[in-house]
A and B are shown apart, each in its own frame.
Chain A
Amino acid sequence: MTEQRQANWAEEAVREHAEDAAVHDHELAQYPSGADHPSREQQVLDRIEKARARKPKVKEERITLAHGAGGKATQSLVEAIFLDSFRNPLLEPLEDAATVTANGTRLAFTTDSFVVSPLFFPGGDIGDLAINGTVNDLAVSGATPMSLSAGFILEEGFPVADLRRIVASMKAAAEAAGVQIVTGDTKVVERGKADGCYINTAGVGLLDPGRELGIATARPGDAVIVSGPVGEHGMTIMLERGELDIEAELVSDTAPLHELVATLLEADSGVRAMRDATRGGVATILNEVAQAAGVAVVVNESDVPVRAEVRGACELLGIDPLYVACEGRLVTIVDGSRTDEALAALRSHPLGAEAAVIGRIADDPPGLVLLNTGFGGTRIVDLLVGDPLPRIC
């Protein structure tokens, strides 16, 4: 026999959960079956939920790409490292923007960094992405976007012509969104220490004093609406990288959502919460809703709008379009009795012309997203651990 050793990380994980395993054995021995007790499968499911609800830990010794993919690994990193140190009531809800109050005025405050590769892609570039991304985080928080900052990290050797092009599209995007870039910063790093150009934007927006939005307010009976077809930005970027040898007529959906949001809110459409479906896609947002509100989100696969090109590419790559990023789509949870008004309001704006109700909020099973598949079956839609594909926003 060859030399042999143990996988220490695995033995460690087993030890850590040894108590769970003992309880498991005990429970299974006690209740082989019977209607008076939860089924054996249900007991296992309950214990898994308990294990999932534990305080997240970052077990890796180094940061991996999965930590930036927006899924479970990102969630663990944010909660175990950032939230754990910075914890305060304004940060804790982990919404797209924080609500800060100054002299009685409520402001939404947010920040986002952009590292997309390639920098220029069909339908947009890193410049308009950087403006729209922050405008959208403010808008879906219910705020009117006001002022933005722009920080640039540039790599030695980066063509000035490319920078001009990026800045021109930032200017155009800011004008379209009715915001001004009022402060900024520039750093240059040595060749090889960055990928051309990274941009960080932060923004503040004015909140309506009477409006409280938040995903934790979702309740059974509410409707789940998306403002248009999903996954176009993410798939455009994946195809544009040229690694897949797939060609499709696709452009990014990058767009500022402030007008669409204003139209929706003005229509008195019973909005409980809005999110823009960026990294991690619609599936990640729905999981956040289910967890924050302690409800079930039930989605009908055939009702989710997906363009044929996106669906085709997803089929070939084995990716679920529900996880593919958008940069100009919002997901909103509205009072079930106001569904028609909300849908009509969204559809009255060009960016929401293809809005669709994709599901509803239910009470059971709490914390999970259930999908009624086009085939007629049922499954859950979980958070991904990470994303096997390169960064996309």
Chain B
Amino acid sequence: MRFVDEYRDADKARALSAKIVGLCEPGRQYKFMEVCGGHTHTIYKHGLEDYLPESITLVHGPGCPVCVIPMGRVDDAIALAEQPDVIMTSFGDMMRVPGGRGSFFDSKAAGTDIRMVYSPLDALKIARQNPDKHVVFMAIGFETTAPSTAMTALRAEAEGIENFSIFCNHVTIIPAIKAILDSPDLRLDGFIGPGHVSTVIGCRPYEFIAAEYDKPLVTAGFEPLDILQSVYMLLLQLSEGRSEVENQYGRVVPWDGNMVALRAVEQVMELRPYFEWRGLGFISHSALRMKEHFARYDAERHFSLPGVRVADPKACQCGEVLKGVLKPWECKVFGTACTPETPIGTCMVSSEGACAAYYNFGRFSRERVRQASQPQPVTIEAGARKA
């Protein structure tokens, strides 16, 4: 298939892999964080780690928008859905995310009207079709999806639609990266920068990572060769003593971002003073809310929400996994109490989370499989043969 197969070519992968091995300093361990959950998914789905030497560890970052929504916000969304004459709309991957008392799927089973949509504009369409109901859109995502939510609010205003509001949970990527950079037990050598977010914000916002923290960052695409090439570019920077922001995903990411999209977001939303991230805690100026002018489209002002915080379970070690201190399987509850069916922590919630990706795709011993696929040496022991 065009535009897909050329980025999954095993021959090119082998060639890149050899160049990567060549750049690794003997005895040195490298840890790179892929910030974006989409990258994590690609890495596991294609078995990309088979191409990396053991000295390179990929640490899976906080860039999974579903995963970082705290349980209390899910409870608030369900409380919204329980209001009389409300239709709640949400992206499909939010449906199974449990809050303190269960997920959208559980709430739907208990009788609320929660519908999956593929775009916020579909939610607006449902509002037009159901004038006697109030339709709430559960807005989640980084700068990638915030513009489409903003555009939808602008469209609603232009059309004078009154029975529609947005439960805004948009978050911003830079404060989360900064929180990780500022953590004292950070052990990273560089970043594989988010691809989709960068199509909106561009590459400039990452410059402080190279300048102030002296870490290289390469913005990467989502096909496995994109990620492998980004690892190569990071190693090349390290071997040449550079720490810069580079753009591997130039075919989609403009250096300065998408001004139209950014303007739409700025018109409709503003930064919150602080927001809670599941697994990372409260981070200041890390999320967006609706501006005063759009108050009538703001579900938080339209309805009164419980706003009860649900504590992350104490056994959960997601914070350590996100910072690269622990591998997913080193967490105490991984795979036993915490599974994709009952995700205790953020990293297990969506298929883009580090633990879920490892559980769903990587839950086997690469070492054992490698040994099993080697031809077994044939040895005939004396006396073992039957006559």
Interface centre among A7, A28, A311 (most CB of B within 10 A): A7
Chain B count of residues within 8 A CB distance of the other chain: 69
Out of A7, A51, A308, which one reaches B336, CB within 8 Å? A51
How distant is the Cα of A21 from the Cα of B310 in the complex, in angstroms?
A: 23
How distant is the Cα of A8 from the Cα of B308 in the complex, in angstroms?
A: 14
Does the CB pair A375–B336 fall under 8 Å? Answer: no
Q: CB-CB < 8 A to B100: which residues of A?
A: 5-8
Is A370 interfacial (CB 8 A cutoff)?
Answer: yes
How distant is the Cα of A375 from the Cα of B46 in the complex, in angstroms?
A: 6
A-B contact pairs, 6 of them (CB 8 A): A2-B308, A4-B309, A14-B313, A14-B315, A73-B341, A388-B93
Q: Which residues of A contact B (CB under 8 A)?
A: 1-11, 13-14, 16-17, 20-21, 24-25, 28, 39-42, 44-45, 47-48, 51, 59-66, 72-73, 243-245, 308, 311-312, 315, 362, 364-365, 368, 370-380, 382, 385-386, 388-389
Does the CB pair A65–B48 fall under 8 Å? Answer: no
Among B8-16, B167-175, B208-216, B284-292, the one that faces the other chain is: B8-16
Q: CB-CB < 8 A to B339: which residues of A?
A: 51
How distant is the Cα of A24 from the Cα of B5 in the complex, in angstroms?
A: 42
Out of B10, B47, B363, which one reaches A48, CB within 8 Å? B363
Q: CB-CB < 8 A to B92: which residues of A?
A: 388-389
Is B337 interfacial (CB 8 A cutoff)?
Answer: yes
Does the CB pair A21–B360 fall under 8 Å? Answer: no
Is B334 interfacial (CB 8 A cutoff)?
Answer: yes
Chain A residue nearest to B352 in the complex (CB): A318
Contacting A at CB under 8 A, from B281-311, are: 307-311
Among B104-112, B188-196, B242-250, the one that faces the other chain is: B104-112
Does the CB pair B1–A315 fall under 8 Å? Answer: yes
Does the CB pair B96–A66 fall under 8 Å? Answer: yes
Among B128-136, B158-166, B232-240, B366-374, the one that faces the other chain is: B366-374
- In the complex, how many angstroms separate the beta carbon of B196 from the nearest chain A beta carbon? 13
Out of A73, A315, A376, which one reaches B51, CB within 8 Å? A376
Does the CB pair B48–A377 fall under 8 Å? Answer: yes
Is B338 interfacial (CB 8 A cutoff)?
Answer: yes
Does the CB pair B47–A51 fall under 8 Å? Answer: no
Out of B49, B311, B332, B335, which one reaches A6, CB within 8 Å? B311
Assuming the contacts A2-B308, A21-B337, A385-B341, asked whether A379 and B47 have C-beta atoms less than 8 A apart, the reply is yes
Is B324 interfacial (CB 8 A cutoff)?
Answer: no
Chain A residue nearest to B108 in the complex (CB): A64
- In the complex, how many angstroms separate the beta carbon of A245 from the nearest chain B beta carbon? 8
Does the CB pair B50–A376 fall under 8 Å? Answer: yes
Is B102 interfacial (CB 8 A cutoff)?
Answer: yes
Does the CB pair A312–B337 fall under 8 Å? Answer: no
- In the complex, how many angstroms separate the beta carbon of A17 from the nearest chain B beta carbon? 4
Q: Main SS of chain A's interface residues? A: mixed
How distant is the Cα of A143 from the Cα of B13 in the complex, in angstroms?
A: 47
Out of A21, A25, A244, A365, which one reaches B369, CB within 8 Å? A365
Does the CB pair A382–B360 fall under 8 Å? Answer: yes
Does the CB pair B333–A17 fall under 8 Å? Answer: yes
Chain B residue nearest to A56 in the complex (CB): B341
Q: CB-CB < 8 A to B340: which residues of A?
A: 385
Chain B residue nearest to A369 in the complex (CB): B364
Assuming the contacts A6-B310, A374-B10, asked whether A39 and B333 have C-beta atoms less than 8 A apart, the reply is no
Q: Return the 6 tightest CB-CB contacts between A and B, nearest first.
A: A377-B47, A48-B335, A376-B10, A17-B337, A62-B109, A375-B46
Known: A40-B330, A375-B47. 9 other contacts (CB 8 A): A14-B314, A17-B336, A45-B365, A365-B368, A368-B364, A376-B13, A377-B224, A378-B366, A385-B340
How distant is the Cα of A219 from the Cα of B315 in the complex, in angstroms?
A: 40
Q: CB-CB < 8 A to A48: which residues of B?
A: 334-336, 359, 363
Q: CB-CB < 8 A to B337: which residues of A?
A: 13-14, 16-17, 20-21
Assuming the contacts A7-B99, A16-B337, A21-B315, asked whether A373 and B106 have C-beta atoms less than 8 A apart, the reply is no
Does the CB pair A45–B48 fall under 8 Å? Answer: no
Contacting A at CB under 8 A, from B331-381, are: 332-342, 344, 359-369, 372
How distant is the Cα of A54 from the Cα of B362 in the complex, in angstroms?
A: 21
How distant is the Cα of A1 from the Cα of B274 in the complex, in angstroms?
A: 13
How distant is the Cα of A15 from the Cα of B189 in the complex, in angstroms?
A: 37
Is B44 interfacial (CB 8 A cutoff)?
Answer: yes
Does the CB pair A5–B48 fall under 8 Å? Answer: no
Does the CB pair B362–A380 fall under 8 Å? Answer: yes
How distant is the Cα of A66 from the Cα of B314 in the complex, in angstroms?
A: 28
Q: CB-CB < 8 A to A365: which residues of B?
A: 364-365, 368-369
Does the CB pair B364–A39 fall under 8 Å? Answer: no
Out of B105, B108, B309, B363, which one reaches A382, CB within 8 Å? B363
Does the CB pair B47–A39 fall under 8 Å? Answer: no
Contacting A at CB under 8 A, from B245-283, are: none
Does the CB pair B332–A370 fall under 8 Å? Answer: no
Assuming the contacts A5-B311, A45-B329, A379-B44, asked whether A362 and B372 have C-beta atoms less than 8 A apart, the reply is yes
Chain A residue nearest to B91 in the complex (CB): A388
Q: CB-CB < 8 A to A64: which residues of B?
A: 105-106, 108-109
Is B116 interfacial (CB 8 A cutoff)?
Answer: yes
Q: CB-CB < 8 A to A62: which residues of B?
A: 106, 109-110
Chain B residue nearest to A62 in the complex (CB): B109
How distant is the Cα of A388 from the Cα of B115 in the complex, in angstroms?
A: 11
How distant is the Cα of A100 from the Cα of B137 in the complex, in angstroms?
A: 53
Does the CB pair B344–A373 fall under 8 Å? Answer: no
Does the CB pair A3–B309 fall under 8 Å? Answer: yes
- In the complex, how many angstroms separate the beta carbon of B23 from the nearest chain A beta carbon? 20
Chain A residue nearest to B110 in the complex (CB): A62
Does the CB pair B344–A377 fall under 8 Å? Answer: no
Chain A residue nearest to B116 in the complex (CB): A388
Q: CB-CB < 8 A to B342: which residues of A?
A: 9-10, 13, 59
The 8 A CB mask of B65-101 against A (1 = contact, 0 = none) is: 0000001000000000000000000001101101111
How distant is the Cα of A40 from the Cα of B328 in the complex, in angstroms?
A: 12
Q: CB-CB < 8 A to B338: which residues of A?
A: 13
Q: CB-CB < 8 A to A386: which residues of B?
A: 96, 105
Assuming the contacts A17-B336, A72-B341, A243-B118, asked whether A377 and B365 have C-beta atoms less than 8 A apart, the reply is no
Assuming the contacts A312-B1, A370-B369, asked whether A375 and B118 have C-beta atoms less than 8 A apart, the reply is no
Q: CB-CB < 8 A to B368: which residues of A?
A: 42, 364-365
- In the complex, how many angstroms separate the beta carbon of B300 from the nearest chain A beta carbon? 14
How distant is the Cα of A281 from the Cα of B310 in the complex, in angstroms?
A: 37
Assuming the contacts A388-B93, A388-B95, asked whether A373 and B46 have C-beta atoms less than 8 A apart, the reply is yes
- In the complex, how many angstroms separate the beta carbon of A80 from the nearest chain B beta carbon? 13
Q: CB-CB < 8 A to B44: which residues of A?
A: 379
Does the CB pair A24–B332 fall under 8 Å? Answer: yes
- In the complex, how many angstroms separate the beta carbon of A280 from the nearest chain B beta carbon? 15
How distant is the Cα of A334 from the Cα of B359 in the complex, in angstroms?
A: 30
How distant is the Cα of A90 from the Cα of B309 in the complex, in angstroms?
A: 50
Q: CB-CB < 8 A to A17: which residues of B?
A: 333, 336-337
Chain B residue nearest to A54 in the complex (CB): B336
- In the complex, how many angstroms separate the beta carbon of B324 from the nearest chain A beta carbon? 16
Q: CB-CB < 8 A to B329: which residues of A?
A: 41, 44-45
